[in-house]
Structure 1
């Protein structure tokens, strides 16, 4: 009987040992699952929607209807302080801009002519569109931590854009005139931008530093209007 008691005691001890070992391993596995990344980056995809207008407009030029812009891209984050609340970022993106206005463009891509059309009763449709490849360079300030993706931010910098495609369309009583890749458009555009907000949704503004046209003239006067685009931008990790 004593031998049986001893064997039972050994069995209980062994079971207790393996149970404790298993619990320790489970705890270790769970601990490994929780990884704190103190060296996080705010690498982000972005999507922007803007209302497009002009600055430095020629006399008589007015915008018609609603002109929109749509942009998207990716930004690589490069923190510069220990708390990672300040950083530089760069990346690549694409923008489509649409401008509805009364600047009539006729002729050809190599030899275009420009006139102010007056009231919209003189034409059915008049616009030009641009497709741009963007390279933004920005400085970032934010209140982010490695534990939270919801934070306040102010991002600003310069954006360089290369015009890969343009198209102007004029419908009036003389018919339809369509010009693609007008040589008078500036191929390289650059400007300042600023975005600010909380979490995903942020306000956004871009101001072009050089004109949209490089050589267009209206009644002998060079067209020097530049872009002003305001709207919202979404950042997604």
Structure 2
């Protein structure tokens, strides 16, 4: 009888502990799943080109861009494979080309540097605050952060600093805070890849300039930036 009672108590206690462990594991999984988001820091490196170029305008050397920021993920389906996201970041874009920007008493002036003119450097650069608004599709789960993704949407950028440099043997001309630049820029972008490394492309939908002209013709340069973007949880 004592042996029977001992076995009965042991099995009862074991069953209680087993049920409690299962309940804890179940609650833990539900909690993790309910909080699962792809909030991410991002860092990007791009090769920058210009479209809608005036006649004889060409790019020289390598034009690069760098960006970084944080994006908040908001899943919209039960499996959390579809989401919308937004955030904030900063970007630096540099464009080497032969559009010279000179100082003037009234406003900057513009001209195309011909092939016979010798110069050391000619470029303009911008520092921007970025606000992306994107639609996301991915194959992620709350158990794994290695997955395929396609992210795309619109990006709104505000220019907080701009700088143009022309340098030749006679000296250097620097123009900053050029009012002819569009302060607010926007464009469409897409990023796709697996895990951390992704291919990225951005196309500007409005012109980098709002009022610059060459010989009375408006300069309607738009940016096309292609490179890599890295997402880090």
Bin for the TM-score computed over the shorter chain: 0.7 to 0.9
Q: What SS does structure 2 have at the residue aligned with 1:137? A: strand
**Given the two structures, how large is their TM-score scaled by the length of structure 1?**
0.86
CA distance 1:98–1:138, change in 2 (3 Å)? same
Residue segments in structure 2 that go unaligned for 5+ positions in a row: none
Compute the displacement of 1:170 (Å): 0.4
Deviations 1:46-90 (A, max 9, x none): 000000000100101110100000000000000000011100000
- Whole-angstrom CA distance in 1 between matches of 2:105 and 2:84: 39
Corresponding position of 1:35: 28
- Whole-angstrom CA distance in 2 between matches of 1:142 and 1:117: 47
Q: What SS does structure 2 have at the residue aligned with 1:123? A: coil
Compute the displacement of 1:220 (Å): 1.5
Query: Are residue 101 (structure 1) and residue 97 (structure 2) matched?
Result: yes
Query: Are residue 233 (structure 1) and residue 229 (structure 2) matched?
Result: yes
Q: Which runs of 4+ in 1 moved over 3 A?
A: none
Compute the displacement of 1:221 (Å): 1.0
- Whole-angstrom CA distance in 2 between matches of 1:35 and 1:218: 65
Corresponding position of 2:58: 62
CA distance 1:109–1:52, change in 2 (3 Å)? farther
Residue segments in structure 1 that go unaligned for 5+ positions in a row: 1-8
- Of stretches 113-122 and 80-89 in structure 1, the one that deviates more from structure 2 is 113-122
Choose 1 or 2 for highest CA Rg.
1
Match of 2:79 among 72, 80, 83: 83
Q: RMSD of the TM alignment (CA)?
A: 2.5
- Whole-angstrom CA distance in 2 between matches of 1:120 and 1:55: 24
Compute the displacement of 1:93 (Å): 0.5
- Whole-angstrom CA distance in 1 between matches of 2:191 and 2:84: 14
**Given the two structures, how large is their TM-score scaled by the length of structure 2?**
0.87
Q: Give the number of equivalent residue pairs.
A: 221
Corresponding position of 1:127: 123
